[in-house]
């Protein structure tokens, strides 16, 4: 392997479909694991028309091939713009780009279609448009290789979590709260093949949907609206009865489980017990906090063997004060110390984008990027496809 450092841009747009995060990382081979240094990070909101198109296409019951083709190219152009602007702002010359793309559909389990049963996934965003604009190779389409090795194609951030956060003496839980919430659990001194990771359930997805329907706002900024409400106990109990929460890891979720149909059913149940919109939003916020804590309590706590645990939160949910307060009340009695990833030197919004920079670097060097214990794959797999200039 070439020992020189590479400057790699990671590009992430998550299930919240609110925009693009770009993280530029300097990566150099190390004796045991790569060495990473974050050198730039910027976020860019989707233009309103593009966000509408993305949300309409996600888990859509019907659309047109022309609409999907146009969206795929439009997203590629958006990613190219986001990376180009970030590189220009920071006077950087890139060696490589890793682009996750925008998930439009993710089906981790086999289902029948046209005479065969198979799992499938689709992350849109034309990689050639990025490569042509930036004049560097692009690694994209990361999830299929893991799925074809028997995994669920998610989560793919655990390798990054291990490289950056593993500790010999303290347990680490890396909790990302995007549209969907997912955690990576690393016991003290654990090797990479003992990392546990899974999607805990909804993150901001149901909260955002209710903020839009009830208050005509894209998000509940800072959790201020939810803070004015009271949790509807019966609705929270009903929501936590969803069969997803009984599944054992590895497990993965998306808009197929917690998208607009779920949010509409959740709101209908809330309205049976309270007419106050703030109460419905408070209950959605409590659902995220409680499902995260329940996942940790049921599947992770025993693996930490009574060691101190840093519960490190990243993603958009880390900026929701109401959600963070609820989460602290639920995980701190379990022996966890809640913290934002900034306290460990990594901005919350940069983490997932930086993870795909690392995965691109792994692919470029013909190294596997999945963690089979997290995804359920039968073997390590080199992820993604390389688009050359």
Strand partners, 126: none
Give pLDDT tens digits for 263-320: 999 999 999 999 999 999 999 999 999 999 999 999 999 999 889 999 999 988 999 9
Q: How many domains does the chain have?
A: 2
pLDDT at 125: 98
**Whether residue 325 is found in the same domain as residue 198:** yes
Mean pLDDT within 102-113: 94
pLDDT at 62: 83
Give yes or no for a contact between 356 and 10, defined as CB atoms under 8 angstroms apart. yes
Residue pointed to by tokens 């860019």? 44
Residue among 34, 371, 28, 314 nearest 173 (CA): 314
Residue 18: pLDDT over 70: yes
Averaged pLDDT of the chain = 95
Strand 309-314 to 171-177 pairing: parallel
DSSP 112-156: EETTEEEEEEEEE--HHHHHHHHTS-EEE--HHHHHHTTS-S---
Which residue would you say has higher pLDDT here, 95 or 60?
95
pLDDT at 203: 97
pLDDT at 2: 66
pLDDT at 1: 63
| Host domain of residue 58 | 6-158+350-387
Residue 226: give its domain's CATH number: 3.30.420.40
Tell me the CA end-to-end span of the chain in Å, nearest whole number.
Answer: 22
pLDDT at 16: 78
**Whether residue 187 is found in the same domain as residue 285:** yes
Mean pLDDT within 147-160: 95
Mean pLDDT within 330-336: 96
**Whether residue 270 is found in the same domain as residue 354:** no
**Whether residue 139 is found in the same domain as residue 187:** no
Range with lowest mean pLDDT among 13-17, 142-146, 295-299, 365-369: 13-17
Give yes or no for a contact between 384 and 358, defined as CB atoms under 8 angstroms apart. no
Percent helix / strand / coil, the chain, rounded to 5: 45, 25, 30
């Amino acid at each position: 392997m070439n020992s020189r450092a590479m400057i790699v841009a990671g590009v992430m747009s998550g299930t919240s479909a609110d925009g693009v995060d770009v993280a530029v990382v300097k990566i150099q081979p190390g004796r045991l694991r790569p060495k990473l240094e974050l050198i730039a990070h910027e976020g860019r909101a989707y233009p309103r028309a593009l966000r509408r198109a993305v949300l309409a296409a996600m888990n859509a019951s019907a659309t047109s091939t022309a609409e999907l083709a146009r969206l795929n190219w439009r997203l590629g152009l958006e990613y190219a713009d986001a990376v180009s602007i970030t590189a220009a702002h920071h006077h950087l010359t890139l060696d490589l780009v890793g682009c996750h793309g925008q998930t439009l559909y993710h089906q981790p389990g086999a289902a029948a279609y046209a005479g065969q049963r198979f799992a499938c996934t689709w992350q849109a965003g034309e990689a050639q448009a990025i490569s042509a604009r930036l004049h560097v190779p692009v690694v994209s389409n990361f999830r299929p290789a893991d799925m074809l090795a028997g995994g669920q194609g998610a989560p793919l951030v655990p390798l990054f979590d291990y490289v950056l956060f593993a500790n010999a003496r303290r347990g680490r839980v890396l909790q990302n709260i995007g549209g969907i919430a997912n955690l990576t659990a690393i016991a003290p001194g654990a090797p990479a093949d003992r990392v546990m990771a899974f999607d805990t359930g909804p993150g901001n997805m149901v909260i955002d949907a209710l903020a839009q329907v009830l208050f005509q706002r894209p998000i509940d900024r800072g959790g201020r609206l939810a803070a004015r409400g009271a949790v509807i106990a019966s609705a929270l109990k009903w929501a936590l009865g969803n069969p997803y929460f009984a599944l054992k890891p590895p497990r993965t979720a998306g808009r197929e489980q917690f998208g607009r149909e779920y949010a509409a059913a959740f709101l209908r149940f809330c309205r049976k017990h309270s007419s106050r919109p703030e109460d419905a939003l408070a209950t959605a916020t409590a659902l995220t906090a409680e499902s995260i804590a329940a996942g940790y309590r049921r599947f992770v706590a025993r693996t930490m063997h009574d060691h101190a645990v840093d519960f490190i939160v990243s993603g958009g949910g880390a900026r929701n004060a109401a959600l963070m307060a609820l989460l602290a009340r639920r995980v701190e009695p379990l022996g966890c110390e809640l913290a934002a990833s900034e306290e460990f030197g990594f901005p919350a919004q940069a983490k997932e984008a930086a993870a795909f920079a690392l995965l691109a670097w792994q692919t470029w060097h013909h190294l596997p990027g999945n963690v089979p214990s997290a995804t359920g794959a039968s073997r390590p797999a080199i992820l993604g496809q390389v688009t050359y200039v």
